[in-house]
């Protein structure tokens, strides 16, 4: 701003002179923000300097307001930030336009339009103004202020020094440094300092309620307008006294000084009423009277209804020092306040450029750096939407985001849009308080060219972070540009975003993998895309991770942390990997994915205590989260915490009312030994969800758990089966055949699936079924056939090569997709190699990263011990296996029980076999936990163990369960024949 009588003449006297004389330009002025070249100093004041500069991008002259480091206190810092946010949210010809805010080194700056003219204070230096001039300026003042009030912003510090008159006669409102948002606002920008009790503003123009320290509203601005009108009409303020204390007392108790009569005086009088209710409600009403006066209408506002209010209060007007102390206290309180839970809706893309459709992901990445904010991840948002019954969501637009915000609930919701005007792109951001349906703040930025969009994301992110209470030092300490932590190539980012969406929505991971590879093709140094490929899994995932880590400086701190933990895992250093991932979870507690991985890795290494702690914490942060529910249930069951199982599942049913929620509650009741409550729950579920396939599977599990095979089989005739995918139905029917001991029928279905898979050209799916066949043959006692089937599976998958060599075959890589992730072929083969005693093949599989790394050394040790006939070593290996990954504990406990019996340790066998009931009832979960009839084999071995210790009753109970479940089994099953003989002998002996 250029003033005719010296730059910033109204404020310069309050500042300490710099070493450089006002108006002089140092020889080496910096270029602020890489685009604002300084041309001259226009002036200086208590907040810093005002510089004339040129915007090198747009080629226009601008004003640069710089907050010089070391020349301001904390209150001035806060005011400077609020000025940028408030004025930047308004677009009106009577309000100074804010184009940009930023930082250069230790200096913060605001970029505004360059104004040439003088302040209203200078305009009034020679006394009162003509009535027509007062009407013109008053109308412009009310017009600009009405725009702010409509947006919910009140100025709180209107005075002649903050009103600027350009050479064209345009009045501009300046300095929104202590602005605040009206409580009733429903459309507008910012909520700033609203503390009741804070006396803030310029005393001569302050309203009575501000003097008392009460909350200010639009009527407080109206009072200031009245004081300014009075001064324009009379030449002096209405309540000016010798001291500030006397002035404050006069505002509270005295009538305003005399002024010329007339309609303008009546308008000023109504503005200056002591009682807010007697004033104009807002600047819009004041503007209406100005317009009416301009048209010649009679103004009846007058001073009617004025009441002298006696205020029985002790008025203490704070000094400048007291204000500074108050500001510092406010900043400390703000820093110590609870973190703000916030989410970002998808951008409204008004450009028709599909490369700009994923900008919400960029903004989340930028905001996540804040220590002040708890940013809801996209994964958490989709998880919440699933629990709301919204499973097919492609975009989280504003209406959907508002629903989500109420469900979580959120403290703030970011709503953003991007528009294009020729080569200029503009981003607008509003932050909504969902609980009050009012906007807390707004921010905007614009620039030329699409390549500038990531930088604009950085700018609006800074506005939001500062606006929500983050301090400038914290902002500066954690502000990596998104172009660096992601990519500057927006087309590449679009592919990354689409891939992430596919993964989060549980859609085709193969397509997601293609999207990530397209992103890398466009930007080979896109570290985050490499990391996402690793996290998605696949034959080259380790290479992707290595590449991501070579580009570690292109990752956010959070992603670098996860990548390093992942590298330790794939390189076989499990303990180190788990420790690193736990550290990540502790450093980034708001990221549910990182905490979930820490829980998952702890769980699979057998540390269920730690897993439960992370999962419970995650439930506290996100009460609707269900991913990891299974692990938490197993962890609690292993610890005997049936009370926690029941509490969790009852709450889940109360909130979600889904068949899955009811299924978990059934599991909890069965684990706690309350079969009648489990049955009642199943019946309620069936009433609520008639014909639902998930409900049928849960009922199947209950019948199996209760050893009611006929009732389980009756479910095969239910009409719900007709709606199920044929392959899924085949697997379910095969499970039931195995449970009933009908190996021949199960093997026939397996051959059918192998033929279907080969017909489709899916060798990996075929190999998986053949490996499963090998396990079935082993359980039936056909060891030679089991070995042949396992070898056939490896041949199908690897083409006769070693696993390591096959991994390099592009044709094999192309086939190895989502199916390998969902039901790991490697795990099937590893289980077969272990029980068949093929230690070399087990080692090759694990070294090639095609089987789960958990307890890898014990798989190999068990296989080698069986191969060498070392029973004690095999028992030791299995004891370590069952202490590890709980997902496969059932089958391994049955194997361990058999080993204990071979070693003539029946009591240890009983202890191990009694644990085989840990986990959900059969049929409830699709999670692979061994061949379904392994727990029938467990009953057989349990009966044998009880018989050896002389407990005939317990032995008969276990044997009879075998006979009941295998009432229609293949008649030549060795265990079935032996069970019948043992039962006959025991009953005869009794």
Say if residue 679's pLDDT is above 90. yes
- Kindly list the strands in the beta sheet with 163-166, ordered across the sheet, starting from the edge strand earlier in the chain: 2-3, 116-119, 163-166, 171-173
Q: What is the DSSP letter of 554?
A: G
Say if residue 337's pLDDT is above 60. no
Would you state the pLDDT for residue 261? 83
Would you state the pLDDT for residue 44? 72
Torsional class of 437: left (φ above 0), alpha (ψ -120 to 50), beta (otherwise): left
900 Cβ neighbours under 8 A, 6+ residues apart: 875, 906, 908, 909, 912, 945
Say if residue 24's pLDDT is above 90. no
Say if residue 511's pLDDT is above 50. yes
- Between CA 908 and CA 625 the distance in angstroms is 39
Would you state the pLDDT for residue 540? 57
Asked if residues 29 and 38 have their Cβ atoms less than 8 Å apart, the reply is yes
Tell me the DSSP string of 600-644. Answer: HHHHHTT-HHHHHHHHHHHHHH-TT--TTHHHHHHHHHHTT-HHH
User: Which DSSP helix (H) or strand (E) runs through 424?
Assistant: strand 424-433
695-704: pLDDT as tens digits: 888 888 888 8
Local confidence band at 47 (pLDDT 50, 70, 90 cut-offs): low
Would you state the pLDDT for residue 411? 94
Q: What is the mean pLDDT of residues 265-270?
A: 94
Q: Is 581 helix (H, G, I), strand (E, B) or coil?
A: helix
Flag the least confident range among 445-459, 593-607, 881-895: 881-895
Q: What is the mean pLDDT of residues 910-921?
A: 76
Say if residue 808's pLDDT is above 80. no
Q: Which residues in the chain are classed under CATH 1.25.40.10?
A: 628-723, 889-990
Q: What is the mean pLDDT of residues 414-443?
A: 90
Classify domain 2-117 at the CATH class level.
alpha beta
- Between CA 714 and CA 869 the distance in angstroms is 44
Q: Which residues in the chain are classed under CATH 1.10.510.10?
A: 121-294
Fold of 338-473: Rossmann fold (3.40.50)
Local confidence band at 494 (pLDDT 50, 70, 90 cut-offs): very high
Q: What is the DSSP letter of 95?
A: B
Would you state the pLDDT for residue 146? 94
Would you state the pLDDT for residue 806? 42
Q: What is the mean pLDDT of residues 880-901?
A: 86
Fold of 121-294: Transferase(Phosphotransferase); domain 1 (1.10.510)
Q: Is 649 helix (H, G, I), strand (E, B) or coil?
A: helix
Local confidence band at 904 (pLDDT 50, 70, 90 cut-offs): very high
Flag the least confident range among 164-178, 336-350, 844-858, 914-928: 914-928
Local confidence band at 20 (pLDDT 50, 70, 90 cut-offs): very low
Q: What is the DSSP letter of 841?
A: H
What is the average pLDDT value for the chain, to the nearest integer? 80
Higher pLDDT, 628 or 544: 544
Would you state the pLDDT for residue 163? 95
Would you state the pLDDT for residue 28? 62
Count of C-beta atoms within a 10 Å radius of residue 544: 24
Q: Which residues in the chain are classed under CATH 3.40.50.10610?
A: 338-473
Local confidence band at 197 (pLDDT 50, 70, 90 cut-offs): very low
Would you state the pLDDT for residue 765? 83
Alpha-carbon radius of gyration of the chain: 37
Say if residue 745's pLDDT is above 90. yes
113-153: pLDDT as tens digits: 998 899 999 999 989 999 999 999 999 999 999 999 988 88
Percent above pLDDT 90 for the chain: 37
Asked if residues 819 and 766 have their Cβ atoms less than 8 Å apart, the reply is no
Would you state the pLDDT for residue 100? 84
Would you state the pLDDT for residue 528? 93
Q: What is the mean pLDDT of residues 814-825?
A: 40
Flag the least confident range among 13-27, 118-132, 497-511, 852-866: 13-27
Q: Which residues in the chain are classed under CATH 3.30.200.20?
A: 2-117
Would you state the pLDDT for residue 71? 52
Say if residue 839's pLDDT is above 70. yes
Q: What is the mean pLDDT of residues 761-776?
A: 85
Domain covering 628-723 assigned CATH 1.10.10.10 in the classification: no
> Which residues are catalytic, by number?
157
- Between CA 616 and CA 240 the distance in angstroms is 63
Q: What is the mean pLDDT of residues 681-708?
A: 86
438-451: pLDDT as tens digits: 888 888 888 889 99
Q: What is the mean pLDDT of residues 183-205?
A: 44
Superfamily of 889-990 according to CATH = Tetratricopeptide repeat domain (1.25.40.10)
- Write the CA distances from 221 to 128, 178, 271, 286, integer angstroms: 22, 12, 9, 11
User: Which DSSP helix (H) or strand (E) runs through 668?
Assistant: helix 659-671
Higher pLDDT, 387 or 805: 387
668 Cβ neighbours under 8 A, 6+ residues apart: 633, 642, 645, 646, 648, 649
Would you state the pLDDT for residue 13? 30
Percent above pLDDT 70 for the chain: 80
Would you state the pLDDT for residue 936? 86
Would you state the pLDDT for residue 202? 58
Would you state the pLDDT for residue 603? 87
Higher pLDDT, 947 or 467: 947
- Between CA 713 and CA 704 the distance in angstroms is 10
């Amino acid at each position: 701003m250029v003033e005719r009588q010296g730059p910033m003449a109204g404020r310069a006297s309050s500042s300490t002179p710099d070493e450089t004389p006002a108006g002089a330009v140092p020889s080496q002025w910096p270029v602020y923000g890489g685009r604002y070249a300084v041309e001259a100093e226009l002036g200086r004041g208590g907040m810093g300097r005002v510089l004339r500069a040129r915007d090198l991008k747009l080629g226009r002259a601008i004003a640069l307001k710089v907050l010089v480091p070391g020349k301001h206190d904390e209150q001035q810092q806060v005011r400077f930030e609020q000025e940028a946010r408030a004025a930047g949210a308004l677009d009106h010809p009577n309000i100074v336009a804010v184009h940009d805010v930023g930082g250069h080194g230790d200096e913060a700056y605001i970029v505004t339009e360059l104004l040439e003219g003088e302040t209203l204070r200078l305009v009034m230096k020679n006394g009162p103004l003509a009535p027509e001039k007062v009407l013109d300026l008053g109308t412009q003042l009310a017009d600009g202020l009405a725009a702010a009030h409509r947006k919910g912003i009140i100025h709180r510090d209107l005075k002649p020094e903050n009103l600027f008159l350009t050479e064209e006669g345009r009045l501009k409102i300046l300095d929104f440094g202590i602005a605040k948002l009206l409580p009733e606002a429903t459309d507008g920008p910012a909520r700033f300092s609203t503390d009741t009790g804070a006396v803030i503003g310029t005393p001569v123009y302050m309203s009575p309620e501000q003097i008392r320290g009460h909350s200010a509203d639009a009527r407080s601005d109206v009072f200031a307008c009245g004081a300014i009108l009075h001064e324009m009409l009379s030449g002096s303020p209405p309540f000016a006294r010798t001291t500030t204390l006397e002035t404050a007392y006069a505002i509270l108790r005295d009538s305003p000084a005399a002024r010329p009569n007339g309609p303008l005086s009546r308008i000023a009088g109504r503005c200056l009423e002591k009682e807010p209710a007697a004033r104009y409600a807002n600047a819009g009403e004041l503007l209406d009277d100005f317009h009416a006066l301009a048209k010649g209408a009679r103004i009846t506002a007058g001073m009617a209804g004025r009441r002298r209010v006696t205020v029985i209060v002790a008025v203490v007007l704070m000094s400048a020092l007291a204000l500074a102390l108050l500001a510092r206290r406010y900043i400390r309180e703000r820093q110590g306040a609870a973190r703000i839970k916030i989410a970002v809706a998808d951008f409204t893309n008004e450009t028709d450029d599909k490369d700009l459709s994923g900008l919400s992901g960029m903004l989340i990445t930028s905001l996540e750096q804040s220590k002040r904010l708890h940013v809801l991840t996209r994964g958490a948002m989709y998880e919440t939407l699933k629990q709301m019954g919204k499973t097919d969501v492609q975009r989280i637009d504003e209406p959907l985001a508002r629903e989500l915000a109420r469900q979580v609930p959120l403290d703030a919701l970011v709503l953003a849009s991007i528009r294009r005007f020729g080569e200029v792109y503009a981003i607008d951001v509003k932050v909504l308080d969902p609980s009050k349906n009012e906007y807390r703040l707004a921010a905007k930025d614009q620039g030329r060219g699409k390549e500038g969009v990531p930088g604009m994301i950085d700018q609006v992110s800074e506005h939001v972070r500062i606006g929500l209470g983050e301090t400038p030092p914290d902002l500066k300490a954690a502000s990596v540009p998104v172009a660096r932590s992601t990519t500057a190539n927006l087309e590449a980012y679009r592919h990354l975003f689409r891939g992430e969406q596919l993964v989060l929505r549980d859609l085709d991971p193969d397509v997601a993998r293609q999207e990530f590879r397209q992103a890398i093709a466009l930007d080979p140094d896109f570290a985050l895309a490499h990391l996402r490929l690793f996290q998605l899994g696949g034959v080259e995932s380790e290479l992707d991770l290595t590449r991501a880590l070579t580009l570690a400086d292109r990752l956010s701190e959070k992603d670098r942390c996860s990548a390093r933990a992942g590298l330790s895992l794939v390189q076989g250093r499990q303990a180190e990997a788990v420790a690193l991932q736990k550290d990540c979870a502790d450093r980034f507690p708001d990221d549910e994915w990182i905490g979930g991985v820490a829980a998952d890795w702890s769980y699979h290494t057998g540390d269920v205590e730690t897993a439960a702690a992370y999962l419970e914490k995650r439930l506290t942060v996100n009460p609707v989260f269900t991913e990891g529910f299974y692990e938490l249930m197993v962890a609690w069951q292993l610890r005997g915490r049936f009370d926690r199982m029941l509490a969790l599942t009852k709450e889940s049913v109360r909130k979600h009312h889904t068949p899955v929620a009811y299924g978990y509650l059934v599991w909890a009741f069965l684990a706690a030994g309350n079969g009648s409550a489990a049955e009642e729950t199943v019946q309620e579920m069936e009433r609520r969800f008639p014909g639902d396939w998930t409900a049928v599977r849960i009922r199947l599990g209950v019948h199996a758990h209760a050893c009611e095979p006929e009732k389980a089989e009756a479910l095969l005739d239910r009409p719900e089966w007709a709606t199920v995918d044929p392959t899924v139905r085949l697997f379910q029917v095969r499970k039931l055949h195995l449970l009933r001991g009908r190996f021949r029928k199960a093997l026939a279905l397996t051959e059918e699936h192998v033929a279907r898979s080969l017909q489709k050209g899916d060798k990996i799916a075929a190999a998986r079924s053949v490996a499963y066949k090998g396990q079935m043959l082993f359980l039936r006692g056909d060891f030679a056939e089991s070995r042949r089937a396992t070898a056939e599976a490896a041949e199908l998958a690897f083409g006769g090569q070693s696993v390591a060599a096959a991994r390099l075959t592009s044709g094999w890589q192309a086939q190895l997709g989502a199916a390998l992730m969902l039901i790991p072929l490697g795990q099937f083969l590893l289980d077969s190699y272990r029980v068949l005693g093929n230690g070399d093949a087990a080692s090759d599989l694990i070294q090639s990263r095609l089987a789960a790394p958990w307890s890898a050394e014990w798989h190999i040790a068990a296989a080698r011990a069986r191969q060498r006939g070392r029973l004690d070593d095999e028992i030791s290996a299995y004891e370590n296996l069952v202490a590890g990954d709980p997902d496969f504990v059932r089958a391994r406990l049955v194997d361990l029980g058999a080993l204990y019996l071979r070693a003539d340790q029946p009591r240890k066998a009983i202890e191990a076999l009694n644990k085989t009931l840990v986990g959900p009832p059969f049929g409830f979960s699709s999670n692979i936990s061994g061949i379904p009839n392994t727990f029938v084999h467990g009953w057989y071995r349990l009966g044998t163990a009880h018989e050896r210790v002389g407990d005939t009753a317990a032995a008969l109970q276990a044997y009879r369960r075998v006979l009941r479940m295998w009432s229609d089994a293949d008649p030549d099953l060795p265990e079935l024949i032996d069970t019948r003989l043992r039962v006959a002998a025991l009953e005869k002996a009794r």
